[in-house]
Structure 1
C-alpha cells in the first residue's frame, strides 16, 4: 500500500482566506484512504517546516504532500530533491506557481483527488547560490515592489496582487535603480543595463495570462529573460506582450538558455531578488545551475508535455 504524509503549513496565505486547516487535513486523509493509500498528516506551526520535513522524510514515505504557498513548496523541494521521495503540492498560497505549472487544481478537494491518482515524475530544479528554485527567480524592480504590498496583503487573492502589479508598474519602474548586469555561462556571455530580469528552470509558455506558466521541465536548461526597457511605457508594452504570450517576440527582451550561469551586478555587492515568491537578499556573484531530473513530483505525463519553442540555445 503506497504511503503518503501530509504537511500543512499553518503560516500559509490560504489560512488567512478562511480555510480551516484541520478540515482540509481531514478531507485529504479521507480522499487518499478512499484511493487505497496510507496517509498520515501533521499541522506545521510557522517556523517549524524544516523540522517537520526532516521528521516526515525519515519515515521514508512514497510521497510527502505539502499544503502551503510557493515558499513552502520551495523548502520541500530543497529537502526532497535527490531522495527519491516524491513531492505533492496542495495549493494554499497566493499565486501557487508550482501547483499551476504541474497542473494541480487550485480548489482543495479537486487538488486532493488529483494528487491521490497522480504518479511521480522527475523534473529539473534550479540551484540559485544554494537555494532551490522550482519556478522563477526575478531581479530588478519587481522584488522591491512586491515587498511593499506583501507586508499588508499577505495571503490576499492572486488576481488582486496581479492587478496591483499592472497598475503600479509605471511608477515603480520609473524610479527603480537599474542593475548593470553581466552574465557568463555555457549559453554565452553578455552585459546590459536592466530593471527587470527573470531566470526560469525550463521556459515560460507562450500563453495568455497574468500568472506565468512553464514548460520544458526536463530540458536540462534554464531560460533567461533580461529586459532592456528604459522607460515605463516600454515596460508596459513588455508587460502586455507577456500577458498575451508574445514575450519571445519582444525586441527589448534578451532571451537565452544555459545549463549554468553566473551573474554579476557591476559595482553592487548584492541585490534583493524574488525566488519562487520569497523575497531575499543575495550577494553577487549569483550562481545558477540546473540539476537535471533532481526532484520527483506528483503529476501526470500530460502536464509535463513540452511546448514548441522559438528560444535559441
Structure 2
C-alpha cells in the first residue's frame, strides 16, 4: 500500500482566498484512502515548511504531497530532487503554475482524485544558484513590479494580478533600469544583451494562446532562455500580446536559445532581484543555472507531460 504524506502550508496564498487547510486535509485524506493509499497529514505553520520536508523525508514515504503555492512547490522540489520520494501538488497558491504544467486540476477534490491515480514520473529541474526552479526564473522589471503589489495583495485571484500586470506594464517598464546581461554557456560560447525582461525556463514555453504561461519538454535536458531586447513600453506591450497569442518565439525583439548550463553576469551590477517560481529573491552575480535531467519524481500522467509536438 503506497504511503503518502500530506503537508499543508498554512502560509500559502490560497488561505487568503478562503481555503481552510484543515478542511481540505480531511477531504483529500478521504479521497486518497478510498483509492487504497495509506495517508497522514500535517498542517505546517508559516516558515516551517523546510523542517517539515526534512522530517517527512526521514520517514521515507512513497510521496509527499504539498498543498501550497509555487514557492512551496519549489522548496519541496529542492528537498525531494534526487531522492526516490515523489512530489505531489495540491494547488493552494495564486497562479499554481507547477500544478497547471503537470495537469493537476485547480479544484481541490478534483486535484485529490487526480493525485490518487497519478503515477511517479521523472522530470528535469532547473538549478538556479542552489534553488530548484520548476516553472520559470525571471529577471528585470517584473520582480520589482510584483514585489510592489504582492505587499498589498498576498494571495488573491490570479486573474486580478494578471490584469494589474497588463495595465501597469507601460509605467513599470518605462521606469525599469535595464540590465546589461551577459552569459556563458557550457561549451564556452557567450552572448550579451541590454534587457529589461529575461526568463529562463526548464524545457520551453508552449506556442499556445493563453494568459498563464504553460511549459512543454519536461525531459529534454535543456532550458530555454528568453531575452527581451525591447527598449520602450510600446514594444514591451507588443511582446506581451505575442506571448498571449502563442507567437512569442516569432517576436523580432526576443532572443531565445536553448542550453543545458549558463553563467549569468550583470555588467557592473553586483546583484539583482529575480522571481523564481513566484518567490522574489535577491541573488549575487555570477548566477549559475544548470538543468538537472530527470532529477525529480512527480505525481502526474504521461499525457500531462507529453511534449507539445507529441501531443499535436
Same fold judged by TM-score > 0.5? Answer: yes
Secondary structure of 1:257's aligned partner? strand
Deviation of 1:48 after TM superposition, in Å, equals: 0.6
Q: Which residue of 2 aligns with 1:144?
A: 144
Q: Which residue of 1 aligns with 2:107?
A: 107
Counterparts of residues 274-289 of structure 1 (less than 5 Å) = 274-289=275-290
Deviation of 1:5 after TM superposition, in Å, equals: 0.4
Deviation of 1:308 after TM superposition, in Å, equals: 3.3
Secondary structure of 1:16's aligned partner? helix
Distance in 1, matches of 2:85 and 2:130, equals 20
Q: Which residue of 2 aligns with 1:272?
A: 273
| Structure 1 runs not aligned, ≥5 long | none
Q: Which residue of 1 aligns with 2:81?
A: 81
TM-score, scaled to structure 1:
0.98
Secondary structure of 1:302's aligned partner? coil
Secondary structure of 2:280's aligned partner? strand
Q: Deviations over 1:148-197 (max 9, x none)?
A: 00001101100000010000000000010000010110374211100000
| Structure 2 runs not aligned, ≥5 long | none
Secondary structure of 1:301's aligned partner? coil
Distance in 2, matches of 1:197 and 1:70, equals 19
Deviation of 1:108 after TM superposition, in Å, equals: 0.4
Would you identify which runs of 4 or more consecutive aligned residues in structure 1 move more than 6 Å? none
Deviation of 1:216 after TM superposition, in Å, equals: 0.3
Q: Which residue of 1 aligns with 2:14?
A: 14
Q: Which residue of 2 aligns with 1:220?
A: 221
Secondary structure of 1:198's aligned partner? strand
Does 2:13 align with 1:2?
no
Q: Deviations over 1:53-88 (max 9, x none)?
A: 111111111000000000100000000001110000
Secondary structure of 2:163's aligned partner? helix
Distance in 2, matches of 1:197 and 1:144, equals 13
Q: Which residue of 2 aligns with 1:59?
A: 59
Q: Which residue of 1 aligns with 2:248?
A: 247
Work out the number of aligned pairs and report it.
309
Counterparts of residues 190-201 of structure 1 (less than 5 Å) = 190-201=191-202
Secondary structure of 1:209's aligned partner? coil
Q: Deviations over 1:22-74 (max 9, x none)?
A: 11000010000000110000000001101111111111110000000001000
Deviation of 1:20 after TM superposition, in Å, equals: 1.4
Q: Which residue of 1 aligns with 2:23?
A: 23
Q: What root-mean-square deviation, in Å, do the aligned CA atoms of Structure 1 and Structure 2 show?
A: 0.9
Distance in 2, matches of 1:44 and 1:272, equals 28
Counterparts of residues 146-161 of structure 1 (less than 5 Å) = 146-161=146-161
Secondary structure of 1:303's aligned partner? coil
Distance in 2, matches of 1:195 and 1:308, equals 31
Counterparts of residues 167-186 of structure 1 (less than 5 Å) = 167-186=167-186
Secondary structure of 2:268's aligned partner? coil
Q: Deviations over 1:80-133 (max 9, x none)?
A: 001110000000000001000000000000000000100000000011011111
